[in-house]
Structure 1
């Protein structure tokens, strides 16, 4: 039972990193990234390939973040001048391209068989329970550090500029802000965080395959950020933990509703996720922790 609880908290922390990544660009700059699962996969495979070639795990995490930055720059250079809805469509296509490359390029990713034997730090020395405790603590520390960094960024001139771009990018450009440069930097940083989350996921599971990076992950993270509060980093983390707890609770729906086949249970779980998203948007559109916008200073 303790191992299962630690597993849930660890996956919740990894999803929390993805939620912080999405919150940075969606809640900060107003850019909708429907390809979050693609950057998640890029980080997981980059770290798996790097550590498989003999690099230590910390270097694999750095490689994953750098791979996320490169992928983010490639996407943003091609799409930043598009309107928001077209940007969302292109990022969704990017995620599917990444999944198909991972599925078909066996020389790089081992195709549909996936990459197994990914190095898990100290797993052999600590044993199953010790490793779960260690990894849960590691993920919690990384989430806390990323949250602190994004909170400081949110309160900095850079963060205030992103919010100005979110509200009215034409007005921000008129005020002398380089809108494209700020969007590029925000998207690259967001992709780096998503890549880091993918690396942590890969080293925890010790196995990754294209099936692990379905577009449904992006829907889960949007639900997490929406439930927690768009624009609030702490809300994104809390929302991710709630979403993972909800997903794990739906595993037992087969016991509550007897007579269902496993495929039907899986379909019912996805229906419950969709219903939860609708309820959140209807009952609490601003999320559990709405964004705090400080009032403008009064003239002296």
Structure 2
């Protein structure tokens, strides 16, 4: 039972990083990123390849951050003139391209067989239970650091500029804000956080494959951010943990509805996720912690 609880909390932390990543780019800059699973995969594979070459896990995490930044800049450059639905479609296509590359380029990613035996830091020394406790602490510290950074950015002139771009980028540009620069910076930072989440996931599971990075992950994270409160880093973290608890709770559907086949149970779980997303938008469209925009400072 303790191992299961530690697993749930650790996955909640990894999802919280993804939620913070999405909240920055969607809640902050208003850019709909449906390619979150792609950045998640980029980070996981970058760290796996780096550590597979003999480097320490810390170097793999740095490689994941760098790969995320590069991928974010490439996607931003490719979508400079796109907004709303068109941006969402292109980012979704990016995630699928990443997954197909991972599936077909066996020389780099081992294809559909996946990459196994990823380094799990201190697992041999700590044992399984000790490693689970250590990794939960590590992920929690990373989530806390990312939350503190993004909350500080949210309250800074940078965060206020992003929100101005989100509301009306033409007006923000007219006011002297360098819209493209802010978009590049926001997308790069968001992708870096998602890449770091992918690296932490890979080294926790010690195995990754293209099947781990389906677009459904993005739906889960959108549900988390929507439930927590778009535009609020704290809400994104709360929503992520809530979604993981909800997803784990749906594993017990078989006990409630006996007689169902495994495929039917899996389909029912996804239906419950969809229903939850609809209910969140209907009951709490602003989320658990609605965004509060402070009034502009008075000038004398």
TM (norm. structure 2) is 0.99
Alpha-carbon separation, structure 2, partners of 1:15 and 1:66: 20
Residue in structure 1 matched with residue 99 of structure 2 by the alignment: 99
Kindly state the Cα deviation for residue 298 of structure 1 after the two structures are TM-superposed: 4.3
1:64 partnered with 2:31: no
**1:238-283: per-residue Cα shift (whole Å, max 9, x none)?**
0000000000000010110011000000000000000000000000
CA distance in 2, matches of 1:118, 1:30: 36
Query: Residue 121 of structure 1 aligns with which residue?
Result: 121
Where structure 2 has 5 or more consecutive residues not aligned to the other structure, the ranges are none
* Distance in structure 1 (CA, Å) of the matches to 2:142 and 2:28: 21
Q: After the TM superposition, which segments of 4 or more aligned residues of structure 1 sit over 3 Å from their partners?
A: 297-300
- Residue matched to 2:170: 170
**2:254 & 2:186 partners in 1: Cα distance?**
42
Cα separation, 1, equivalents of 2:47 and 2:109:
12
- Aligned partner of 1:154 in structure 2 is 154
1:292 is displaced (CA, Å) by 1.2
Q: Quote how far apart the aligned CAs of 1:85 are.
A: 1.3
Superposed CA deviations along residues 45-88 of structure 1, whole A, max 9, x for unmatched, are: 00000000011001100000100000111111010211221111
User: 1:37 aligns to what?
Assistant: 37
How far apart are the structure 2 equivalents of 1:227 and 1:84?
A: 21
CA contact (8 A) 2:31 2:83 kept: no
Stretches of structure 1 that go unaligned for 5 or more consecutive residues are none
Of the structure 1 ranges 289-298 and 121-130, higher mean CA displacement relative to structure 2 is found in 289-298
State the Cα distance separating 1:169 from its structure 2 match: 0.5
In structure 1, what is the Cα distance between the partners aligned to 2:121 and 2:298?
Answer: 54
**CA distance in structure 2 between the partners assigned to 1:53 and 1:59 by the alignment:** 11
Further displaced range: 81-90 or 9-18: 81-90
In 1, distance between residues paired with 2:218 and 2:82? 21
1:222 aligns with 2:204: no
Structure 2 equivalent of residue 23 of structure 1: 23
Q: For each residue in 1:155-183, what CA deviation from the matched residue of structure 2 results, as whole angstroms up to 9, or x when unmatched?
A: 11111100000011010000011101100
Offset at residue 297 of structure 1 (A): 3.2
Tell me which moved more, 75-84 or 10-19: 75-84
Contact 2:229 2:235 in 1 (8 A): yes
SS at match of 1:297: coil
- RMSD (CA atoms): 0.7
Alignment size in residue pairs: 300
Name the structure 2 match of 1:249: 249
Cα deviation, residue 299, structure 1: 5.3
SS at 1:285 equivalent: coil
- Please, what TM-score do these two structures have when normalized by structure 1? 0.99
Q: CA–CA distance in 2 between the matches of 1:251 and 1:193? A: 28
User: 1:118 aligns to what SS in structure 2?
Assistant: coil
Alpha-carbon distance in 1 for matches of 2:271, 2:149: 36
1:202 paired residue number:
202
Q: How does 1:181-200 map to 2 (within 5 A)?
A: 181-200=181-200
Contact 2:14 2:197 in 1 (8 A): yes
**1:81-128, CA deviations, whole angstroms, 9 ceiling, x for partnerless residues?**
112211110000000000000000000000000000000000111111
CA shift at 1:296, angstroms?
A: 2.5
The separation in 1 between residues aligned to 2:83 and 2:144, in whole angstroms, is 33
Cα offsets for 1:166-216 (capped at 9, x unmatched): 011010000011101100110000000000000000000000000000000
CA distance in 2, matches of 1:216, 1:65: 23
